[in-house]
A = this chain, B = another copy of it.
Amino acid sequence: MFKIIKEDKQTAARVGEFRTKSSIFSTPCFFPVATRGAIKGLSTKDLEEIGIEGILVNAYHLYLRPGIEVIKSCGGLHKFMGFNKTIITDSGGYQIFSLNNLRKLSDEGVTFQSYIDGKTIFLTPQDIIKAQIDIKTDIALPLDECVGGNSIAYKEALKAVERTIKWAKISKDYFDRNKTDGILFFAILQGSIFSDLRKMCLEEILKLKIDGLCIGGLSVGEEKNLRYNILSFICQLADKNYIRYFMGYGKPPEILEAIGLGVDLFDCVIPTRLGRTGTAFTDEGEIVIRNSPYIKDERPIEPNCNCYVCKNFSRAYIRHLINVGEMLGVMLLTYHNVYWYKKFIDEAKNAILEDRFLKFKKYFLSTYRETKNDN
């Protein structure tokens, strides 16, 4: 599945190729997020135009609505969504655990209240794998327990790791005993900022003959230096032949940092989420297009961008659309932001291939300015 094409000499960055039953994509790569089976503001035709290689969909949300049965009877998730590239389905562990007081965990599974109708739902790790097999995902993920932040106690993190390992075993066992038709199985690494927990978790899940490694429980509130330390530790420890997927990450400078530490794959709501609130990505950083400097700005969002939006529309027009609440504004900004993210990561990939990744990173960080108040 994963083939390393090139390893950087100065950093842990690498270029690879990954094959699923639906497509082959090269890494580093980013997947936009289609939580409920759609990217907010983009059609699959847009994704195709942009050249998106894969998306992340949330199996937990689909379980609640429209229900797995509906998608199954419509021929699976690819057919349902009209998307023929790689789909990763997240188990929803992160979402369920965000419910806090509305859920109860046991080794057998998770009990929670549906946010739709308040109904109590009990899901086992097996249920969640079954759902992903039923909808014919490309990459299935097991239920995991995610704890996070700076303040996390070791004891709590240990308990979560133990449960995550246990559930990964149950899940993989269930997966192996069923007809999976080319579906791949990734396991999720937990352990917060504690290197011994990460090590333990890694060793256990690698025993399961998995197809890829998800790095979970990071970027959930911990300090950045702790994050990069533990990320570096993980990437050094993990067999290099596993694709490394950093879940739910990040801003462009953060992504470059993670690529340099050896991460291959990202999913990321940032280009779509910021698009909805009126922030655009440019080579010089993020700009809040709603703001007054852009009122008569005839330039495209990013003058060096070749996307449909930059070739056809001005900042002034997009600012107007966002300001009057026209959904086309969100559609155009999201299109550009996703295009820009892909282009940015493609450039990082090319830099690795051409032995100039560190130089690229340095130059990028010297010109890129994050917007402080981007809401």
Which of B41, B317, B319, B326 is within 8 Å of A328, CB to CB?
B41
A316 and B44 within 8 A (CB): no
CA distance A312 to B44 in the complex (A): 9
Q: Beyond A312-B82, A316-B70, A327-B327, is A38–B296 a contact (Cβ under 8 Å)?
A: no
CA distance A26 to B371 in the complex (A): 49
CA distance A65 to B45 in the complex (A): 31
CA distance A328 to B43 in the complex (A): 7
Question: Of A73-81, A129-137, A337-345, which binds chain B?
Answer: A73-81
CA distance A69 to B320 in the complex (A): 13
Q: Tell me if A12 is interfacial: C-beta within 8 Å of chain B.
A: no
CA distance A65 to B322 in the complex (A): 11
User: Which bucket holds chain A's interface residue count?
Assistant: 35 or more
Report B-chain residues with C-beta under 8 Å of the C-beta of A320. Answer: 36-37, 65-66, 70, 80
CA distance A332 to B331 in the complex (A): 13
Q: Tell me if A330 is interfacial: C-beta within 8 Å of chain B.
A: yes
**CB interface residues, A 180-233, toward B, < 8 Å:** none
Q: Tell me if A298 is interfacial: C-beta within 8 Å of chain B.
A: yes
Q: Tell me if A50 is interfacial: C-beta within 8 Å of chain B.
A: no
- Residue ranges of A at the interface with B (Cβ–Cβ < 8 Å): 36-45, 61, 65-66, 69-70, 73-75, 80-82, 295-296, 298, 308, 312-314, 316-317, 319-321, 323-324, 326-332
Given contacts A40-B328, A80-B320, 15 further A-B contacts (CB under 8 A): A36-B321, A37-B321, A39-B328, A66-B320, A73-B298, A73-B316, A74-B296, A74-B314, A74-B317, A75-B298, A80-B316, A80-B317, A82-B317, A327-B330, A327-B331
